Structure 1
């Protein structure tokens, strides 16, 4: 057999990422985790707010003149930024995440995960560099543009880059596969926040709070991990299936399809908008809790957290500092539950089914939200904390389960792009949840409701959102037969060319395994295409998992140390 002379496709093309024979699919989840653990720091950006609010004053904030306009404050260098202004970065993160995933999700399916992952790395890390310059020059608009807008685009592309790939590598465990990757997004802050604190303490001087230096160091670290993750992505050859696995036979009226719906059709179906509502309502309730977890615990239990029969308003400054430390442990514990729920619930959905898993989320969630005011009035910290731990596990589980739910309903052909469109529900919830919770609290306190009871109505309203989510989930039915792509559509010229190119690349691998002796296959133009033949070395798989597992274990350890305070 002669050695092929087919020119290799471009390095960043999707075809170049088609896996060789013997590739171990367990190398793909750590590649996804490497990216998600980096962009997940978006959840932990609040660690920068206080230092940045005194970037000029260093020891205490220097307020801008009362008559200074908002535009002038954006360019002022002689006074400090307000935390409320810095908080816009958090809003931009999730609005841009959802919108960029929706806009470029279709492009990702054609470009492939490697190119999308690299673009995500340049956007997220480049945004941090721009933000560092903004801190150095004291220009808040550069933080909004750098991390908020450009970094937000990186979040969207990085978040959805592994979804379609993992679902195709793990058709037998869709939920578990997406749960492993999306778990990383929830865990990014556990690693990034303590790392940022350590770096800021190291770089702090009498003339600097150490934030811009921290941004640069974290950008460099994240860039290495994200590029490594992007280059580690591989896609399976067309028609590949796990050894020994047989696809289940389609059942009559089954909710899990073995066919495919095009993106342009999928987003116009009732099923898409019902799932949009399912995600939006689940996230709105959960994200509202995340935003108020710390103050809620402090205001509801007050002095009881430190063994005193005093309300929150009766505590002095030192006592409030004590319960603030306990509340920080509570927040850390919720973070762990958020992460664990992403993997556990998504894996559980492989057995229970996606629709029934969401039924559990909404029914159990409704009971727990409705029970929270009772546990608060009982004065039971343990029951209160347990309820919120389960609630946050289902919040994270909802994120990790939805990609597999979409694959069940619309097929895997364009699931990444469809998931990108659906993430606009997250952007909506990111505004709806916190606004709803915060304004309800302020309204009740202004109306004379005691702080300890100000959250009761809020919990009941959030429980009501979950009832609406349950109804939307129960209405999800299989897609109408005429909406599926035909074989002719799946084999249209563009798709046929792509498949042929993938087959050619794979053929190179097979030819090499049979004949090549020098580790490369000759290519036209005098170049060569590296080929990985045979089985993937186990040491490489272990090293890949250690690269992401060790930082994650460190973050979990730091968080557990803080959480222990809650029960002392």
Structure 2
């Protein structure tokens, strides 16, 4: 059966739109606390477990996805994520915070990690001519998940209660993920070469050769891998910190109402998803390293100014920008890895890089919860992240210099080889 790569992209978005619902988690926190009497830290643990497991699951199951294919992987993800969400509703019914951690945290986290990695690695192969755009589309739905889920969840909780909300949404996520899984498939073996040749022949796009073709084991031994890993760790930690407490932080600092904060969380999903597509597509023209440098330079300024920002519109705009950078970091990550390490084992390399997702999912909520508990304020958190963003900016600049130097070296060797060939043929 011949597949349409744009329908493959739509299938990937359907899967990621479902698992991306996790980004609306902050709208559940207050209703659960009020109804169940659970502490803020206990409720946050479920989110921390889910985010922590998601990245490690992506790394652990990277080879599984390559062997079993994206369809089976996505179907497994649909079962795990759907059960995790529905199980959370059961946990609320029986008043068990431990069950809530095991379902919403453990099962959903495993489903999220597996569901994330399969569409990304598949779409990169379907779009050899637009690597940045492909990775942007692959994770667009993931970032935009809260755009739909946040207002829907708030409305459902008011109408049918928290448990029924989890049941309804869990069934919906399962359905969308299964529909996506039934169509998604890898391209023919020669598709990458044929696709690239067609684009280059038209002269519509210049292509840049990858720096190397490395195995995952070889890639993790390079300094470039760990520089990219460090940059993404800071980006993820900052983004998840914002996402995990967006609603209560906006209510406390900016004075937004509950409904206003829920709307802001939904708009964050738009910037998260839009940032993934826009920044990834832009990186095809600006360069991956330059995009990361822009992210961290802007974050240094934003985190420094946020404690002094009293205007609610500007405050929200700053948050939206940080979330867009967070989303853009995720979509640029596999494209940048492909540029430096090749596509031979990109799925596994991407999986290893996504351990930053797990660690950021732990560090982000942990830092903000600890600082808020110790000081009673969110303001010191911003200064901590000002320093972290500054350090990441230095690493990004160093990586750009290193990649540029390597490309020049490769170009010089190719030029010398061409001269040698010309002389030998003369």
Q: TM-score range by the shorter chain?
A: 0.7 to 0.9
Residue 92 of structure 1 and its aligned partner are, at CA, apart by: 0.9
Partner of residue 180, structure 2: 229
Instruction: Find the aligned partners of 1:333 and 1:440 in 2 and give their Cα distance.
Output: 26
Question: Aligned in 2, Cα 1:460/1:145: closer, same or farther, shift over 3 Å?
Answer: closer
Question: What per-residue deviation string (whole Å, max 9, x for no partner) do you get for residues 469-497 of structure 1?
Answer: 1222233345999xxxxxxxxxxxxxxxx
Partner of residue 111, structure 1: 68
Instruction: Find the aligned partners of 2:163 and 2:264 in 1 and give their Cα distance.
Output: 29
Question: Aligned in 2, Cα 1:373/1:224: closer, same or farther, shift over 3 Å?
Answer: closer
Greater shift in the superposed pair: 322-331 or 100-109: 322-331
TM-score (normalizing by structure 1): 0.64
Partner of residue 21, structure 2: 41
Residue 323 of structure 1 and its aligned partner are, at CA, apart by: 4.1
Partner of residue 243, structure 2: 290
Residue 441 of structure 1 and its aligned partner are, at CA, apart by: 4.1
Radius of gyration: which is bigger?
1
Give secondary structure in 1 for the equivalent of 2:53: helix
Residue 403 of structure 1 and its aligned partner are, at CA, apart by: 1.3
TM-score (normalizing by structure 2): 0.84
Does residue 211 (structure 1) correspond to residue 176 (structure 2)? The answer is: no
Question: Aligned in 2, Cα 1:105/1:195: closer, same or farther, shift over 3 Å?
Answer: same
Question: What per-residue deviation string (whole Å, max 9, x for no partner) do you get for residues 265-285 of structure 1?
Answer: 222322221111010011222
Alignment of 1:130-529 (within 5 A): 130-203=87-160, 210-240=161-191, 241-242=194-195, 244-246=198-200, 256-257=209-210, 259-301=212-254, 323-374=257-308, 376=309, 379-445=310-376, 455=379, 457-476=380-399, 477=402
| CA root-mean-square deviation | 2.8
Instruction: Find the aligned partners of 1:85 and 1:385 in 2 and give their Cα distance.
Output: 27
Instruction: Find the aligned partners of 1:199 and 1:384 in 2 and give their Cα distance.
Output: 28
Instruction: Find the aligned partners of 2:99 and 2:374 in 1 and give their Cα distance.
Output: 34
8 Å CA contact retained: 2:148, 2:266:
no
Instruction: Find the aligned partners of 1:54 and 1:458 in 2 and give their Cα distance.
Output: 26
8 Å CA contact retained: 1:106, 1:263:
no
Residue 463 of structure 1 and its aligned partner are, at CA, apart by: 1.8
Residue 298 of structure 1 and its aligned partner are, at CA, apart by: 4.4
Give secondary structure in 2 for the equivalent of 1:475: helix
Partner of residue 414, structure 2: none
Instruction: Find the aligned partners of 1:132 and 1:287 in 2 and give their Cα distance.
Output: 24
Question: What per-residue deviation string (whole Å, max 9, x for no partner) do you get for residues 427-449 of structure 1?
Answer: 1112222332343344445xxxx
Question: Aligned in 2, Cα 1:326/1:277: closer, same or farther, shift over 3 Å?
Answer: same
Question: Aligned in 2, Cα 1:295/1:52: closer, same or farther, shift over 3 Å?
Answer: closer
Residue 297 of structure 1 and its aligned partner are, at CA, apart by: 4.2
8 Å CA contact retained: 2:27, 2:247:
no
Unaligned regions of 5+ residues in structure 1, if any?
A: 1-18, 56-60, 62-79, 204-209, 303-321, 446-450, 482-568
Residue 89 of structure 1 and its aligned partner are, at CA, apart by: 1.2
8 Å CA contact retained: 1:108, 1:417:
no
8 Å CA contact retained: 1:118, 1:226:
yes
Equivalenced residues, count: 398
Unaligned regions of 5+ residues in structure 2, if any?
A: 408-426
Give secondary structure in 1 for the equivalent of 2:103: helix
Instruction: Find the aligned partners of 1:403 and 1:53 in 2 and give their Cα distance.
Output: 38
Instruction: Find the aligned partners of 1:299 and 1:216 in 2 and give their Cα distance.
Output: 31
Question: What per-residue deviation string (whole Å, max 9, x for no partner) do you get for residues 389-424 of structure 1?
Answer: 322211211111111111111112221221111111
